[in-house]
Structure 1
């Protein structure tokens, strides 16, 4: 499955940068229409995470993932068939649903196949994903240097082919045991006339509040991807060429440190403890962003580099804590449904995060410390929120050996 993630991100890296350019250069769509298309399809895609989780509680996760991957490929290839805005919006929205679903399904697979080692497994997964993004990004840069219709279409087709390849590889992965399906089968055998109603994240107030705080803590992505380049351009004296270098630095740091950092969040209690240093990192990163606008060129470069490093470590620590806590808070009989609901946090951030970050940029340097204080308060609130649930036995699949033929 790690190979699946690597190839998936190569394809996504190829297409992500070219997507808005394809719509403007090939389909002759206006910038406003491109923004509308991406925003609406992204909003619809939010539903993909909980839908995938619910399906994975009822059907084999590998088969649901294969269907999602093939649907992603089909929706992407459909973009080649028309220049009509309504149809392009429809196909983009259809593709956004399995795209968000795939993220949840790969995490769910990790939880089931890795058992107590799930945090370490997910750390390896994030590492190979970042490597895939880097490889795909380099390929996209080479193709976009040509900037012809054929080049854009080639990137689209290459991404679609990557989805077909990973669907074939996923079919060869062994299906891990599903606690939710085993529980359901056992309940049906013992009480066929009165099956127990499975747990639901939508009736779990603590888990919903946890997911809401998660949406805020995922904002590091919007700051690094959207806020950093815009802040450099509009508020500092740093060269705009610093922006891509800081993104490269982000990827390098994740590749080097994500796996070593995973050992600090290997249990629910350890993951909860990480929320305190996470609050400090978010605060320091936001203060560095504010400081970058207060000095000259080299002061800005230094402050922005500090911000990128601290926010990247915040990203890695949050990924470790978030993954362990989301699984630990999920009851055995509804693991997929709970992780699907948790997936709403990242999906919501993708839609609302850029809007919040651009509002901070518009407000000026003083808004960054306020945002940092908000991050710190959110970390402390989550630290308190999960405390009373963690003494209960967390959901943990017993150690198993699953052979993967790839």
Structure 2
């Protein structure tokens, strides 16, 4: 893909003519309508596999804390340490697993990773000590984040360029829907509150991994690129500095996940006069808005310039949302509730735009011959942001109140502003390897 400042080649001109709509609500092209994507054979199979797999994730996520403490026998601090260490393994898994995908193909790699994770996760039903649980958690997280990276590479390999971003948005609906259904089903285990009930959730989660692997076997396999398979430029993403900068900026915006996971529950219950029920309302609002808006607001983001502007808007909305969260402290219950809901709505709009923009940049600025490694690098940045998000929100907003929210918002705003020049730099740098001989 040429630089935004350079003349387009005939092929690229054809690919963007007519000009792509802004990801904010222009008429929906037939090829990327919801009905068309639901009929697309590859997207339909990816959607089914992801829906099944994330249903299992919802089962496990809902009971994991109680499973680790009441069944495995860990203390809360041990659980925190083990999950943090597992998160580090998740950050580093994307590149080696992406390299395997580039060499042998994304489909067989993700199928193998999901099947292996399904077997390994059964270990949670038999371990009963900290020293046995830690390597198991690290191994499961390594496979899980690696599978996520390779699945993203599979999207890049199995779908035409014009369907990658709307396809990812379509698949995100499966993620949110699956987790929600799984969480609702896991409430049965919470009511029973027995070791057997929690172990049953683990077994069901393992079954969903195997089922997802079997479904993905039906996705058409793509032959690995010749130079990727031969190992010539297998780890080029690690030396692609502009792409690494985009990855870091994307990871900064992903810190926003810590607000929903940790910031909102603790801020609402400890620092505001809003009712506790507002925590659940924020989760419902976030999920509902993502399902309703992700596909619509992702249209047109295939153009890196549009994607960079989407990231700019995303970080700005997140920053304003941080200010509203800070203002809710000390307000009466109704005002605090409205401010928190308004802040959550802005944060979610930013999350939707961030997803669309960063997905596009992760594909459009990558070497088409090495989607596995490039998606591995990008997914590592995502995993790092998700891991650090709770720490950042506790050390800024929850520790220093309004001043902390302002600092957190400033971090979002600075990253957002840097997206446009960083994308221009990355796009200008791309022809250096695009024209390299195979």
Tell me the TM-score normalised to structure 2 length.
0.84
Across the two proteins, how many residue pairs are aligned to each other? 386
The answer to whether the 8 Å contact 1:269/1:390 transfers is no
Cα distance between partner residues in 1 of 2:72 and 2:314: 43
Match of 1:170 in 2: 216
Match of 1:315 in 2: 351
- Any residues of structure 2 matched to 1:75-224 within 5 Å, and which? 75-115=120-160, 116-178=162-224, 181-184=225-228, 197-198=233-234, 200-224=236-260
The answer to whether the 8 Å contact 1:10/1:135 transfers is yes
Q: Kindly state the Cα deviation for residue 200 of structure 1 after the two structures are TM-superposed.
A: 1.1
Question: For the structure 1 residues 280 and 352, does the alpha-carbon distance in structure 2 shift closer, same or farther, using more than 3 Å as the test?
Answer: closer
- Any residues of structure 2 matched to 1:210-359 within 5 Å, and which? 210-359=246-395
Cα distance between partner residues in 2 of 1:314 and 1:395: 32
Cα distance between partner residues in 1 of 2:372 and 2:148: 12
**Residues 264-293 of structure 1: CA distance to partner in whole angstroms, max 9, x if unpaired?**
413222112213322321121111111111
Q: Kindly state the Cα deviation for residue 88 of structure 1 after the two structures are TM-superposed.
A: 1.1
Q: Kindly state the Cα deviation for residue 121 of structure 1 after the two structures are TM-superposed.
A: 0.3
The answer to whether the 8 Å contact 2:313/2:416 transfers is no
Q: Kindly state the Cα deviation for residue 45 of structure 1 after the two structures are TM-superposed.
A: 2.1
Establish whether residue 362 from structure 1 lines up as the match of residue 399 from structure 2: yes
Establish whether residue 383 from structure 1 lines up as the match of residue 427 from structure 2: no
Cα distance between partner residues in 1 of 2:395 and 2:240: 32
Pairwise CA RMSD: 1.9
Match of 2:6 in 1: none
- Any residues of structure 2 matched to 1:45-64 within 5 Å, and which? 45-64=90-109
Tell me the TM-score normalised to structure 1 length.
0.91
Cα distance between partner residues in 1 of 2:330 and 2:313: 26
Match of 1:403 in 2: none
**Residues 59-99 of structure 1: CA distance to partner in whole angstroms, max 9, x if unpaired?**
12111101111121122101212202111111111111111
The answer to whether the 8 Å contact 1:61/1:105 transfers is yes
Secondary structure of the structure 1 residue equivalent to 2:425: coil
Secondary structure of the structure 2 residue equivalent to 1:386: helix
Cα distance between partner residues in 1 of 2:432 and 2:316: 27
Gaps of 5+ in 2: 1-45
Q: Kindly state the Cα deviation for residue 252 of structure 1 after the two structures are TM-superposed.
A: 0.8
Cα distance between partner residues in 2 of 1:319 and 1:395: 26
Match of 2:55 in 1: 10
The answer to whether the 8 Å contact 2:321/2:342 transfers is yes
Cα distance between partner residues in 2 of 1:244 and 1:218: 21
Cα distance between partner residues in 2 of 1:89 and 1:199: 29
Match of 1:66 in 2: 111
Q: Kindly state the Cα deviation for residue 351 of structure 1 after the two structures are TM-superposed.
A: 2.0
Q: Kindly state the Cα deviation for residue 177 of structure 1 after the two structures are TM-superposed.
A: 4.5
Secondary structure of the structure 1 residue equivalent to 2:370: helix
**Residues 114-142 of structure 1: CA distance to partner in whole angstroms, max 9, x if unpaired?**
22211000000111111111101111123
Question: For the structure 1 residues 198 and 53, does the alpha-carbon distance in structure 2 shift closer, same or farther, using more than 3 Å as the test?
Answer: closer
Establish whether residue 373 from structure 1 lines up as the match of residue 410 from structure 2: yes
The answer to whether the 8 Å contact 1:328/1:395 transfers is no
The answer to whether the 8 Å contact 2:99/2:234 transfers is no
The answer to whether the 8 Å contact 2:91/2:381 transfers is no
Secondary structure of the structure 1 residue equivalent to 2:369: helix
Cα distance between partner residues in 1 of 2:248 and 2:419: 10
